[in-house]
Amino acid sequence: MNTATPDLTRLRALPRAEVHVHLEGCFEAAMLAQWAARFNEPMPRPIERLFAFEGLADFLHFLDWACGLVRTPEELAQAAYAFSQRLAASGTGYADLIFNPTHWRHWQGRLPAMVDALDAGFRAAEQDGLPPVGLCVSLLRTQSADAAAELVDLLVQLRHPRVVALSIDGNEAAAGRTGPRFAEAFRRAGAAGLKRTVHAGESSGPEGVRDAVELLGADRIDHGVRAIEDPQVIDLLVQRQIPLGICPTSNRVLGVYPSIDVHPIERLRAAGVPVSINTDDPALLGTGLEHEYALCQKAFGWPDDVLRAVARTSIDASFANDDVKASLRDALGRW
């Protein structure tokens, strides 16, 4: 096994995309404290412990508080621009960025304005040479079928070029089995040309991953790691080559696995499942994409050809346009 200390500079130069990352997970503690002070909003806990989460439910509750501090289009554009800067600092060439309108209490019923504000930030970032970003607009697992239909109607009407996919995230353990509830919304999104990405196999078991594929038509699965518990679900992913957007540190911090040593990413990869490495919520979980690659390189002794293959999967699995994908693949060939 290669247990040499990973070279972060070299990993930052590895051409790759990030396909599982949430805007809601990109707030820095200092920025949140500053916004909270400005509006006299009480902090949920002292700043030193602001990001000390007690599992997924507590984490999702925190997102509501953090996003509730954002009120103006300028602040949203600033958050988008800051996200692109974060990508550049990690050496990431493109990202599919998930954002979930339900967390943002000052923006309820104003999705088009939200997308416009974020788009303005991403356009400014691209003009400044920062990496491009596509948006995946997300449902919450605990929403109703009617709310899902309404969101899809809006996205189809809007046809905003920045929006590449319909997503669903949130707490599957709290929601129970909801694949059937969201099947029609995902079917319509797919028929309208949107890609589909589905959180499953994090707070649900392998049955959630199966539903994501069979009921929601997932082009990609966010997490999906608990597929490892059912060989038939592993087979399904291998047969259909459905890529997983895996987030090792997130899985440890939010209590899915106690350590990287028992994380199933290597077993899934070795079984032939297309796996990519991602951060999920980098600021809140204290990580960056190069660190996630380093973690796997060290834990599993990955040689360069495996790092290259995982990076290649991230590009292939992304919803970037063909030009962006081609240029990332070229660069990867030169790494």
Binding site for Zn ion (CB under 5 A): 222, 280
Select 96 or 280, whichever has its Cβ closest to Zn ion. Answer: 280
Options 22-30, 76-84, 231-239, 300-308: segment touching ligand ADE (CB under 6 A)? 22-30
φ/ψ (deg, to 5) at 61: -65, -40
Q: How far apart are CA 315 and CA 332, in angstroms?
A: 10
By CB under 6 A, the residues from 150 to 169 that bind ligand ADE are 169
Q: Which of 96, 207, 211, 281 binds ligand ADE (CB under 6 A)?
A: 281
Q: Which does 170 bind (CB under 5 to 8 A by kind): ligand ADE, Zn ion, none?
A: ligand ADE
Tell the smallest beta-carbon distance from residue 199 to ligand ADE (Å): 5
Tell the smallest beta-carbon distance from residue 63 to ligand ADE (Å): 6
Options 20-28, 30-38, 47-55, 312-320: segment touching ligand ADE (CB under 6 A)? 20-28
Q: How far apart are CA 184 and CA 245, in angstroms?
A: 24
**CB atoms inside a 10 Å sphere around CB 187:** 15
The three-class DSSP label of residue 90 is helix
Positive or negative, the CA dihedral 150, 156, 157, 161 is positive
Tell the smallest beta-carbon distance from residue 141 to ligand ADE (Å): 8
Tell the smallest beta-carbon distance from residue 89 to ligand ADE (Å): 21
By CB under 6 A, the residues from 299 to 328 that bind ligand ADE are none
- How many alpha carbons lie under 13 Å from residue 254 in its C-beta half-sphere? 23
Q: How far apart are CA 26 and CA 285, in angstroms?
A: 9
Q: For residue 140, which amino acid is it?
A: L
Contact string (CB under 6 A) for ligand ADE, positions 129-148, x = contact: --------------------
Per DSSP, the residues of 98-140 read EE-GGG-GGGTT-HHHHHHHHHHHHHHHHHTTPPPEEEEEEEE
φ/ψ (deg, to 5) at 108: -60, 130
Select 250 or 297, whichever has its Cβ closest to ligand ADE. Answer: 250
By CB under 6 A, the residues from 221 to 250 that bind ligand ADE are 250
Q: Which does 202 bind (CB under 5 to 8 A by kind): Zn ion, ligand ADE, none?
A: ligand ADE
Q: Which of 6, 91, 93, 170 binds ligand ADE (CB under 6 A)?
A: 170
Contact string (CB under 6 A) for ligand ADE, positions 178-217, x = contact: ---------------------x--x---------------
136 within 8 A of 166, measured Cβ to Cβ: yes
> How far from the centroid of its chain's Cα atoms is residue 23's Cα?
8
Q: How far apart are CA 268 and CA 108, in angstroms?
A: 39
What letter does residue 207 receive in the DSSP assignment?
H
Footprint of ligand ADE on this chain (CB under 6 A)? Answer: 22, 24-25, 56, 169-170, 199, 202, 250, 254, 280-281
